Amino acid sequence: DAKTTQPPSMDCAEGRAANLPCNHSTISGNEYVYWYRQIHSQGPQYIIHGLKNNETNEMASLIITEDRKSSTLILPHATLRDTAVYYCIVRVALTGKLIFGQGTTLQVKP
Amino acid sequence: EPEVTQTPSHQVTQMGQEVILRCVPISNHLYFYWYRQILGQKVEFLVSFYNNEISEKSEIFDDQFSVERPDGSNFTLKIRSTKLEDSAMYFCASSAGVASGANVLTFGAGSRLTVL
């Protein structure tokens, strides 16, 4: 089973920051947090990942709390094309597989 | 940007028929995966494959499923005798490695299987 908890849905206004929360209270010290998204029925798309430090790339920022029990994905300026299901995943240590939960459906509105 | 390619994009088959779904992973990747997503449900792990053998499989991956890397580029999923409940989107993924959590799975666009 997925080790994460996410709200089922969120709305965001176009041009505003979208902040997607994730709880992973049972995460182990060597497990990374990954974020993927899925637009319609397309293949999941990698966004960002981190271990304990905050991370930023061209798509998003990832803020991980100091105790690592939760994290937030930030899309700084959401567009209509960011409407998707966002998955927060704790990657099983030393295995490749990702266990997907139900994710958060983000609806970006004009 | 390198991508994972899957064929066919959509296949319709009769119940009981064999189906082979094909994937071309990213060329320097060593780990390969199959996932499936039944309409309206979450993405489910099926199997992972490394060094020409299965490294892990889920409960879903029973005897009717098999995977193969027949040559240096293709990675296939075979369903021997399809059932109605096999209707789903099947995603192939690949990664360069698994160590250090620093290896990213790249997914293909998927193959939609419809069993009638």
| Predicted confidence pLDDT, tens digits, chain B (116 residues) | 889 999 999 999 999 999 999 999 999 899 999 999 999 999 999 999 999 999 999 999 999 999 999 887 899 999 999 999 999 999 999 998 877 655 789 999 999 999 99
Nearest CA in chain B to A48: B104
Non-local (6+) Cβ contacts of B77 within 8 A are B20, B21, B23, B34, B46, B47, B65, B66, B67, B90, B92
- Among B42, B98, B102, the residue with its CB nearest the CB of A95 is B98
In angstroms, the separation between the Cα of residue A20 and the nearest Cα of chain B is: 18
Q: Which residues of A63-98 are buried (b: 16+ CB within 10 A; e: fewer)?
A: bbeeebebbbbbbeebeeebbbbbbbbbbbeeebbb
Tokens of A62: 């990832």
The answer to whether the CB atoms of B42 and A100 lie below 8 A apart is yes
Give the amino acid at B68.
E
pLDDT one-digit tens code per residue, A36-67: 999 988 999 999 999 998 999 999 999 999 99
- Among B4, B89, B101, the residue with its CB nearest the CB of A51 is B101
Q: Which of A35, A40, A98, A100 to mutate to test the interface with B (most CBs of B within 10 A)?
A: A98
Nearest CA in chain B to A91: B101
In angstroms, the separation between the Cα of residue B73 and the nearest Cα of chain A is: 20
Non-local (6+) Cβ contacts of B79 within 8 A are B18, B19, B20, B21, B64, B65, B86, B113
- Among A42, A96, A101, the residue with its CB nearest the CB of B33 is A96
Q: What is the pLDDT along chain A (110 residues), one digit of tens a residue?
A: 668 999 999 999 999 999 999 999 999 888 889 999 999 889 999 999 999 989 999 999 999 999 999 999 999 999 999 999 999 999 876 777 888 999 999 999 99
Q: How many CB pairs under 8 A join A and B?
A: 65
The answer to whether the CB atoms of A96 and B43 lie below 8 A apart is no
- Chain B CB contacts of A100 under 8 Å are 35, 42-45
Closest CA to B99 of A26, A32, A60: A32
- Name residue, tokens 């902040």: A19
pLDDT of B73: 86
B24 forms beta bridges with B5
Nearest CA in chain A to B98: A96
- Chain A CB contacts of B25 under 8 Å are none
* CA dist., res. B22 & res. A2, Å (int): 27
